[in-house]
Amino acid sequence: MSKTVEKSATPLVTHREFKLLLKPDKFLSRQAVLDFNVKLEQTAKSLGVHYEPVESLDAQLRIVQFYDTKNEDLRKNKLIFRIRQIRESVWPGESWELTFKCRAPEYEKAAAFDTDTNLPKLQKKKFKEELIRGDTIGTMTSIFSNNVIVDYPGTQAEIPLSRLADHLPHLKTLGLDLEDTLAIVAGAKVFELQSTLGNLSFGHGVVAHATLAVWARPIPDRFEPLIAEFGFSTRVVDGDEKEEKGQRAADDFFKALQVSLKDYLSDGTTKTALIYGDQGA
């Protein structure tokens, strides 16, 4: 497990989210996802990790958009504003999921951002340690993500930064020009197809859902995937020695899995970076 950061006045990690970017051309059909899940099951067995695949593979469709100013002021401050609509059985939901996060390599940077909104009864919070592939296959590094999530009835193409700051007061302390307008980054609206693949058990009460997400362009007459991401997330509950052993087993599995999936691995670190057109976090 990565180094534990002890802080009393700032958020502590609630989830550890492991992510691997995969080549999009490996997932051009449902059968390709099924084949990947078989490989995942075989790899887990060879590594001594219990894996229980789902009995029937299903998928959830989401519409994903990122917002920023023309000069990417949010991005420059390690901030991300994402709006996502979940479509159950293709039908659109009644609200949009708004996620605002501070994501940075330094725990202190992410933890220092106050994610309190003026909608306390609606907000949900997560503080995640995101584990991504390191510089070489079989290694990993951490970035930290301080999230607040709010369901909202609708969205629009442009949003005044001042309106976001009204709901998220800490933004007003960062010296941003609140007269700026937020618009969809690169004009990119993405279809995300996400499937739960199965459940991993690392022992000592540490378990995780394994998922595969494929981002595709919303093109009517063909399926054009942009990137795929395999992930699993463990919860941090007590942080005691017993749980630490399970978390270390998850770390070891993540690093060994990269070797097994080396032909699947794609360059880059996060899907967000793809939208912004860079390789950053």
pTM check: above 0.75: yes
Q: Which helix (H) or strand (E) holds 104?
A: strand 96-104
- CA atoms of 19 and 233, how far apart (whole Å): 9
Q: What is the pLDDT of residue 7?
A: 44
Asked if residue 140 has pLDDT above 80, the reply is yes
* Comparison of pLDDT for 10 and 216, the residue scoring more: 216
pLDDT at residue number 89? 67
The CA distance from 94 to 83, in Å, is 14
Q: How far is the C-alpha of 71 from the C-alpha of 78, rounded, in Å?
A: 13
> Residue 66: pLDDT above 70?
yes
